[in-house]
Chain A
């Protein structure tokens, strides 16, 4: 159990504000905090705690705070009651040897109080730092989500009508995957090179060639160059590619 009651999976004891719904049941950060507060309120000596009175107060506080299911607090309540019972046991005359049953509790309270002192130091230091800004890359504020469209049916139909009138020829296209035809392209290039030994890229690719045709021609041309049927030369970047037939010179 943490300082606050938990519902489901959220954390009530977290350092950062938990995103979910959190009920802070108490201003105390634990049973020792509550105990120290009681001791302070009762103005009693921490080395000589009137256990019976403090235990009673402790239980009363838990009850009013509806912390019955807070195991941490109940554990402390049980501890207090046990110390109370031990205090009631008759002591032997040799009071020197008497072990004060409160000793362990006092040690823990002092330890806790010391920690709280450090908390005060940290809190002051944290506030001092929080009150100064560093140079920082301020994250851009996220754009607020657009308001949901509030349209009537007639407005929607008017919008559709407007779009349909803008599109002059709303023909539908079927997209068909066309495989490249490299052997076909090679036959065409060979036929051209048979007529003349020198050709340009623009001679073998028509102006209105489709992408698959351009690709087929390019691959065919590279294939032929690899087989030594022709020489491909591009004098400068993006210049027209010059194709010279090697087969013609062989035949000559």
Chain B
């Protein structure tokens, strides 16, 4: 590996969170954007081609070293690490709506889901998956929610556009062409 690739690998190893590309670039002031991208690709290929137990994954505009899925069970059985708790169906439904229609208020979510969502919003907010991104124009100027970088991290998404576009979904709304 090139010295730059080794430097990036060391930084990625040391960090507990995905490192954004610009922070990786700051590690070496002389390295160009293209050089950083090439070095990242080198690290990724190094793990993939040589057959390592970890892989380099792009998440939320950053990069992170993750263990490969096939070793999860053994790691968890040995109690070296444990998986985060699964989100409930109610939480996933609420997140799905916010991800597609943000900024979105509580009333709209309740209208679509057909249930009260106050406690779901609270716990999603506590977990850092959503945040208040503004206030609506309606009565009482309701809080509007949006997804956070932790949301991308939780689902290992590079960006929101990685989610299927609404016209790619099997059920596309024909009656009302609003973007879900």
Where the two chains meet, the residues of A that have a C-beta atom closer than 8 Å to any C-beta of B are 1-3, 11-17, 29-33, 72, 76, 103, 106-108, 110-119, 121-123, 125-126, 128-138
Contacts and interface: CB of A to CB of B under 8 A. Distances in A.
A136 B67 CA distance: 11
A129 B155 contact: yes
A118 B166 CA distance: 9
Given A114-B172, A131-B72, A132-B66, A2 B164 contact: no
Nearest to B16: A136
A180 B165 CA distance: 81
Contact of A15 (B64, B100, B120, B156): B120
17 contacts: A2-B90, A2-B119, A11-B122, A13-B117, A13-B119, A29-B93, A30-B114, A111-B112, A112-B112, A114-B172, A115-B100, A116-B93, A132-B67, A132-B69, A132-B156, A133-B75, A135-B12
Q: Give the most central of A12, A113, A132: most B CB within 10 Å.
A: A132
Interface bin, chain B: 35 or more
Given A110-B173, A114-B173, A130-B83, A16 B126 contact: yes
A30 to B, nearest CB: 4
Nearest to A29: B89
Contacts of A115: 93, 96-97, 100, 112-113, 180
A131 B83 contact: yes
Given A110-B171, A114-B169, A114-B173, A13 B155 contact: no
B52 interface: no
